Structure 1
Amino acid sequence: MARPVWAGNLSFGLVSLPVGLYTATDSHTIHFHQLQRGTSDRIRNRRVNERTGEEVQLDEIVKGYDTGDEYVLVEPSELDDIAPGRSQSLEIAGFVDLAEVDPIFFDKTYYLGPSGKEYGKVYSLLEQALAKAGKAGIATFVMRQHEYLVALKAEKGLLTLHTLHWADEIRDPKKEIDALPGKAKASEQELTMAEQLIGAMSMDWDPEQFHDTFQEKVAALIEAKRAGESVEKAEPAAEPTGAVDLMEALRASLERAGSPRATRGKASTSRRATASSQAAPKKQPAKKRIRSAPKEDLTGLTKADLYKKAAAAHVPGRSHMSRDDLVKALISTRV
């Protein structure tokens, strides 16, 4: 089991609940070591005194704030001394409707768990009450010498904590982007076609349909270089659509995606065909026996090879699996 990255008391009103904070997400980025070109020599980062050039141990380093003419030194223990609630308190200031929190404020997600089974009732009570009310608890707390603004939510039977950006951390887009269109206005026909395209491309949200294809290509690149093979390069990015070509681009996009009218026509045809088949059922041909191919021995494959096969089989969660887990998952897909 994972260890909590923070532990303390969650309180709302006079109710207090000891909790642990657990990282909810992970990254499946392939990590590279830094090497000197032409060698296999590792490059390491060191903490070096810029005056003497000598390496400095971590316990000899203190924080210094540059005031311009001098440094003000601050010890880590001094930061802990001034932390609100001694870094152990997560007190809810109030509850807000989830729809009121703009998505731009959300940063990172954590799971919250009770610190013991004896606190399960209080934990479950808060989770159920939040879920029924459709609200999020807003609080602040200190972790690793940083204060965070957070939103506490109920999600699928557990409590989640989402760190939020402070209001003064949100940049004004009008100050950041020079090329905003301002009063540029699309024609009614362009707007109608754009709406039709959105309708034709609408779908249900299913995150399992998407996976990190670049990470898979990096793994394939590494394996190809090991084997002395070449890898096909990606296609160049599409050219920007100019205002003159906008209508033609919209029209071609609708044809490719299938306009709502065409979709409805196909659905009507399908329904008529279904009704016809129900009216005059046909005798179904006997199913042909399929001879299975010999099962491949996976135990001798590298992890990169196993990962490519897992990607082709759309094995969920493959990016977090060990080599043995990949073998088991691929075997289970054959059953």
Structure 2
Amino acid sequence: MARPVWSGTVTFGLVSLPVQMFTATESHTVRFHQLQRGTSDRVRNKRVNERTGEEVPLDEIVKAFDAGDEYVLVEPDELADIAPGRSKTLEISGFVDLKDVEPIFFDKTYYLGPKGKEYAKIYALLEKALAEADRVGIATFVMRNHQYLVAVKAEGGLLTLHTLHWADEIRDPRAEIDDLPEKTEVTARELKMARQLVDTLRIEWKPEDFHDTYQEQVASLIEAKRTGESVEKAAPPAESTNVVDLMDALRASVDRAKNPSKSGGEKGGDDSAAPPTDIRDAAARRRATGTRNRKAPGKSRGATGRKAGDRKASARGRSLDALTKAELYERATDAGVPGRSSMNREELVAALRGARRHKATS
């Protein structure tokens, strides 16, 4: 069982509910130690007295505020004495519609559980009331010498607590970003095509379908360096879309989204199943061949279909590392890997391996 990171009492009106709070998420980041180059010696951080250079035990360290001409010392007990509710009360000020809390305010998520079976009924009552009303309770509480603004929410039969950013922590985007498009005009034709692309790429939200492919690649890098194998670098990022080619790029993107196993009008070739590295490349090929949304003749489609079938047959049984990018993309298409059209070869390999592991465990 996980250990609670905080325990206290949730109050709403005259009702009190003792709860325990548990971390809801975990990080799977690959963590590295620090070594001195050329050695196997660990490098560690130490708390050192700035004047003497000597290490200081943790119990001899106190908090101090620099007031300019002197330091004001503050003991942990003094901070606890001034904490609202003595750090053990989470008082719900009121309930707001969930849709009114903008996503930018949400920070971290915790699970709330009743602190004992005798509080199960009060817990269930609050959870069901919030679920039916589709509202969240807004509250503040203190944990580890920090006061938090939080939203208490009903999710899947339990109560969750989401820490929120304070209003003055949200930066004004127009003060931070110089080039926001305030008066940029777009044509109705461009907007229609962009909307069509958005609709074509619509997917169902299934978080289990997405995997941290970068961390998988980091693990592969570590294994390759451990065994002395060569490491293949990732492909460079795609270039920005030129405004002149915007309509062609949008049209090529829609065509590719509708027919992910084709490059959008080219005949034959081993790369016909692979996505273009840049949507401008597809647009340029269309202008060069004079093709737009025309479909290839039936004979060409049949020939392309046979070639694709031959490729799939020849690729079957081979390891992912031995396949071409076109073959990897066909497999990703068959497996329904999301975001495959923007992946490079290494990302396709990692995503397919992740899909295999997910299928094996499900």
TM-score by length of 2: 0.73
| Alignment-derived partner of residue 315 in structure 1 | 358
Deviation, structure 1 residue 310: 6.9
| Alignment-derived partner of residue 92 in structure 2 | 92
Q: Distance in 2 between matches of 1:187 and 1:69?
A: 62
Number of paired residues?
A: 272
Structure 2 residues not aligned, in runs of 5+: 260-349
Q: After TM superposition, what 4+ stretches of structure 1 lie above 3 angstroms from structure 2? A: 307-310
Q: Distance in 2 between matches of 1:136 and 1:308?
A: 36
Q: Distance in 1 between matches of 2:123 and 2:355?
A: 41
Check the 8 A contact 1:193/1:251 in 2, yes or no. yes
Q: Distance in 2 between matches of 1:309 and 1:179?
A: 38
Q: Distance in 2 between matches of 1:140 and 1:225?
A: 49
| Alignment-derived partner of residue 257 in structure 1 | 257
Deviation, structure 1 residue 49: 1.1
Q: In structure 1, give the amino acid aligned to 2:224.
A: A
Equivalence map 1:50-61=2 (5 Å) = 50-61=50-61
Deviation, structure 1 residue 28: 0.3
Deviation, structure 1 residue 309: 10
Q: Distance in 2 between matches of 1:72 and 1:253?
A: 61
Q: Distance in 2 between matches of 1:221 and 1:152?
A: 41
| Alignment-derived partner of residue 11 in structure 1 | 11
The share of aligned pairs that are identical, in percent, is: 69
Check the 8 A contact 2:213/2:351 in 1, yes or no. no
User: Which secondary structure state, in structure 1, belongs to the residue aligned with residue 113 of structure 2?
Assistant: strand
| Alignment-derived partner of residue 165 in structure 1 | 165
Deviation, structure 1 residue 66: 1.3
Structure 1 pair 137/308, CA: closer, same or farther in 2 (3 Å)?
A: closer
What's the RMSD between the two structures over aligned residues? 1.7
Deviation, structure 1 residue 311: 2.8
Deviation, structure 1 residue 205: 0.6
Check the 8 A contact 1:98/1:136 in 2, yes or no. yes
Q: Distance in 1 between matches of 2:141 and 2:153?
A: 16
| Alignment-derived partner of residue 155 in structure 1 | 155
Check the 8 A contact 2:106/2:163 in 1, yes or no. yes
User: Which secondary structure state, in structure 2, belongs to the residue aligned with residue 315 of structure 1?
Assistant: helix
Q: Distance in 2 between matches of 1:54 and 1:193?
A: 67
TM-score by length of 1: 0.78
Q: In structure 1, give the amino acid aligned to 2:175.
A: K
Structure 1 residues not aligned, in runs of 5+: 260-306, 317-329
Answer with 242-251 or 222-231: which moved more.
Answer: 242-251
| Alignment-derived partner of residue 292 in structure 1 | none
Check the 8 A contact 1:197/1:254 in 2, yes or no. yes
Deviation, structure 1 residue 125: 0.6
Structure 1 pair 204/312, CA: closer, same or farther in 2 (3 Å)?
A: closer
User: Which secondary structure state, in structure 2, belongs to the residue aligned with residue 232 of structure 1?
Assistant: coil
Q: Deviations over 1:294-329 (max 9, x none)?
A: xxxxxxxxxxxxx9997352328xxxxxxxxxxxxx
Q: In structure 2, give the amino acid aligned to 1:76.
A: P
Equivalence map 1:136-215=2 (5 Å) = 136-215=136-215
User: Which secondary structure state, in structure 2, belongs to the residue aligned with residue 43 of structure 1?
Assistant: coil
Q: In structure 1, give the amino acid aligned to 2:67.
A: T
Deviation, structure 1 residue 122: 0.6
Q: Distance in 1 between matches of 2:122 and 2:233?
A: 55
Check the 8 A contact 2:11/2:90 in 1, yes or no. yes
User: Which secondary structure state, in structure 2, belongs to the residue aligned with residue 314 of structure 1?
Assistant: helix
Q: Distance in 2 between matches of 1:237 and 1:64?
A: 47
Q: Distance in 2 between matches of 1:74 and 1:247?
A: 63
Q: Deviations over 1:225-268 (max 9, x none)?
A: 11100121111111111212211211110110129xxxxxxxxx
